Structure 1
């Protein structure tokens, strides 16, 4: 089975969901991932399709007219001062559009708290037929595959999965062979991009965040063995291209940048014998 390709919101942060869907269709993407739960990061807009019913209707129309589906929403973060039950509205809207995945990550060191919140999040999402894909992020509290497995093994929810981002896996110094020890049913999607060979220290969050949010590389352009990672994942995993590069997007325009994201990824996969 050939992989499907998705366009992640962070790649084109300025595109609202309807525009994103129409443009993704033009460029040849199969699906998109939208940020209907805002994080308040630099350059992020409010794409809350639950509260903004006009945007919801336009998004549904774009899906109907193009056949492009929404693979996932983000970001259902777990953090101090955040009640995950507040994500029910976005889950309800996503379910109305047929969305099956939400991305989550953990930003607090309070273990009992984040385990309880993650379990509650999974239970809430299950009511809407949604899988919670826990992402380990290099500058977050849960930042390795081992730590992510510990969360899933503790909460034991059948709609919990693991979201691998190739940049975070590389920069968190995770051996791709660790993926072989994970049940394949835990993987539903992956974020792909490339990056430089050098890895900043754990405490150099400014450098980690800069590359992650502003200057990721096209697939095959950097030092990450993306093919080795993808080969260890199920054949039906959706490959979501999360590849913000503010300088290139500013110089070439968002449309050209998103086009190159897809073409370089597909060329790389063909060169490495991956469909």
Structure 2
């Protein structure tokens, strides 16, 4: 089976968007996933929404390399943020040719958060953008069930759920629930691995998420069961690891991340084929 891969910006966050595109092309990716708003005060802010020079350069690199934009991030609808304030973000994402937007709902008022998510979906629809709700365990939408409640309440055609294998594991979300969801809700998946043992603090969970993820198959997350529960969609490799970036450099690290992910899927597909062969042999005996 052929799989498509995107280089998530968090994996090499020190790159500008044009540099991210170049690295993705040289390493062999199909897409990039671009961060257009900072998540922390320490992050570099790549202002594609307002910086026309940066936008023009990024689009030129995309055209030159053939790399596509899978998604842009991040819209965080906190208590002070109205969806209408994100219109410029949506316009910039559409200009880049993005397929989707990542959103989070760090708002304790669930009714307000759900209403704003619905309005964001409506604003994104004319741009042919999906809005994909992510559920980091430290936010007010802390697990798959909370995200599903929002999607069911808004009932929008362009609303989706973003499964990040790390967040799914750390939130102890339900595989049974995951298997019950409509296939149309899944537009892409964040793929990574991490130690099986959960950190003892929120700070530890966030540190792993931002700076110490592993390549698929290296850690203790049951990635295979997660992926067996969802449709086949593109995989955005969000695998930040400060130690390895320092050791290998950004390009080589991105290349190794893709190589490890392809190897993981080759092993998984071979395992599935072996299981099918054993079943057929048993039936024919």
Q: What range is the shorter-chain TM-score in? A: over 0.9
Q: Which structure 1 residue ranges, 4+ long, deviate > 3 Å from structure 2?
A: none
Separation in 2 of the partners of 1:37 and 1:158? Answer: 25
Inter-partner Cα distance in structure 1 for 2:9 and 2:192: 14
Which residue of structure 2 aligns with residue 221 of structure 1?
A: 218
- Residue aligning to 2:250: 254
1:270 maps to 2:269: no
1:1-275 residue pairs with structure 2 within 5 A?
2-42=2-42, 44-201=43-200, 204-235=201-232, 237-273=233-269
Of 172-181 and 14-23, deviating more is: 172-181
Q: Which stretches in structure 2 are left out of the alignment for 5+ residues?
A: 273-285
Say how many residue pairs are matched.
271
1: distance between equivalents of 2:255 and 2:176? 31
Contact 1:227 1:269 in 2 (8 A): no
- Say if 2:193 and 2:221, in contact at 8 Å, map to a contact too: yes
**CA RMSD in angstroms, aligned pairs only:** 1.5
> Given the two structures, how large is their TM-score scaled by the length of structure 1?
0.95
Distance apart, 1:265 and its partner CA: 0.7
Q: Identify the structure with the greater helix proportion.
A: 2
Deviation for aligned residue 1:41: 4.8
Whole-Å Cα distance in 1 between the matches of residues 41 and 175 of structure 2? 29
Q: Where in structure 1 are there 5+ consecutive unaligned residues?
A: none
Deviations 1:102-148 (A, max 9, x none): 00111111112111111111111112111000011111111111111
Q: In 2, Cα distance between the equivalents of 1:96 and 1:13? A: 21
SS of match in other structure, 2:74: coil
For 1:34 and 1:157, the matched residues in 2 are separated by 24
Deviates more, 1:85-94 or 1:160-169: 85-94
